[in-house]
Amino acid sequence: MFDEKELADIVRMFSTEGAVTGIRPLGPGYINDTFIVTTSGGPRYILQRKNHNIFPDIPGMMQNIDAVTSHLKKKVEEEGGDPMREAMTVIRRERDTMTPEQEQSMAGDLYFRDGRDNYWTMTLFIEGSLSYDKADTPGLAYKGGLGIGKFQTMLADFTGRLNETIKGFHNIRWRLTQWDEAIARDAAGRAASVHEETAWIESRRKEMLDFWTLVETGAIPLRVTHNDTKISNILFDSKSGDVLCAIDLDTCMSSTSLNDFGDAIRSYTNTGKEDDPDLSEVSMSIEMFRAYTRGYMHFRKDSLTDIEKEYLAFSARYITYEQVLRFLMDYIDGDTYYKASCPEHNLIRARAQNRLLESMEAQYGEMEAIVREYSK
């Protein structure tokens, strides 16, 4: 879609070092387009085209990312860590490519908007790092839990105000409103073919809304949250195996920290793939659940409130339910949100996530017992 020459021209809008020697696509992201930029005489960089259809306020999003990464860098420094590796580094615009209006505008130095309404951003590529699509050992899940536990702990005293980058992102009341509209609209004429799947959403509607009411009333507190903690959004140190940092901060917002636990469990504990067409491969590994919970609670057990601990295991069901809903809704809408590699892709994803949800429900008592064990 973009040739290397075009991409190299975009890179020139940013304050980078070295001469560009190559730009290649990177990663399996469902939303943005990501590239890795190699240079001679300078470091490697990540270039991203942010999806402006999904994120309506890119300047607001970049302001969030800048504020959160600055805070994290300070914390890492205080603890004697390496702020260039343990937090993302946002690359700013090259001053002489900016108009006076851009220089004045909010977050104007954090992104480049090209003539075709594409929004581009750059960050530093962190060398000596690894990312995974799937957690294959409890040791990795444990380290992942430590990583997000630490992330939340470092952000506990963040006092800035964060913009809402996607309206009602993990708000199931809003998602169900969107769902009802999608069914009524039936834009792709697919609603009648997913009766069985629709029943999965309806049968759990009430319990999910009851949970969210606790967030709405303030019984469950708001914190700074990442909101997209699946394993592929975490960088691990290739030598020690420890988490370096969480990447993809596009959805960093104020919400319940339970989202971050729940979404990680959805990702780390799945014995199959997120879009596994073979449902017999999909289940929740209780061993992986234990390992992640142990790591996470190492940092969080003294800070979480009683009600957060009480709903921690439930948050995995909540986020997985939401993911079934979002994939199914996108199928009904005709695949307008997620990148899909075939016409049935979103339906396959929804079915696989529902299987995972059923597996969590079947093991819920054990999940709760494990949370209690590591809460002490």
Which residues form the interface with Mg ion (CB under 5 A)? 228, 248
Which residues lie across from 93 on neighbouring strands? 14
Which DSSP letter does residue 35 get?
E
In the bound state with Mg ion, the residue whose beta carbon lies nearer, of 61 and 348, is: 61
Q: How crowded is residue 134: how many other Cβ atoms within 10 Å of its Cβ?
A: 15
Q: How far is the CB of 322 from ligand GN1 (least distance, A)?
A: 8
Q: How crowded is residue 104: how many other Cβ atoms within 10 Å of its Cβ?
A: 9
Stretch that binds ligand GN1, among 24-32, 136-144, 282-290, 367-375 (CB under 6 A): 24-32
- Contact partner, 274, from Mg ion, ligand GN1, none, Cβ < 5-8 Å per class: ligand GN1
Residue 319 CA to residue 279 CA, distance in Å, equals 19
Site for ligand GN1 in 198-237 (CB under 6 A): 228, 230, 233
In the bound state with Mg ion, the residue whose beta carbon lies nearer, of 125 and 338, is: 338
- The DSSP line for 154-181 is HTTT--SPPP-SSTTTT-HHHHHHHHHH
Site for ligand GN1 in 234-253 (CB under 6 A): 248, 250-251
With contacts defined by CB under 6 A, how many residues of the chain interact with ligand GN1? 12
Residue with tokens 């997913």: 194
- Contact partner, 214, from ligand GN1, Mg ion, none, Cβ < 5-8 Å per class: none
In the bound state with ligand GN1, the residue whose beta carbon lies nearer, of 321 and 374, is: 321
Among 29, 42, 59, 60, interactor with ligand GN1 by CB under 6 A: 29
Q: How far is the CB of 80 from ligand GN1 (least distance, A)?
A: 30
Site for ligand GN1 in 289-348 (CB under 6 A): 323
- Contact partner, 109, from Mg ion, ligand GN1, none, Cβ < 5-8 Å per class: none
- The DSSP line for 43-112 is --EEEEEE-TTT-S-HHHHHHHHHHHHHHHHHHHHHTT--TTTSS--EEPBPGGGS-HHHHHSTTTTS-E
Among 109, 274, 308, 330, interactor with ligand GN1 by CB under 6 A: 274
Contacts of 301 (CB under 8 A, 6+ apart): 309, 374, 375, 376
Look at the chain and count its residues.
Answer: 376
Does residue 43 interact with ligand GN1 by CB under 6 A?
A: no
Contacts of 268 (CB under 8 A, 6+ apart): 135, 140, 141, 144, 231, 288, 292
- Contact partner, 86, from ligand GN1, Mg ion, none, Cβ < 5-8 Å per class: none
Binding site for ligand GN1 (CB under 6 A): 29-31, 54, 228, 230, 233, 248, 250-251, 274, 323
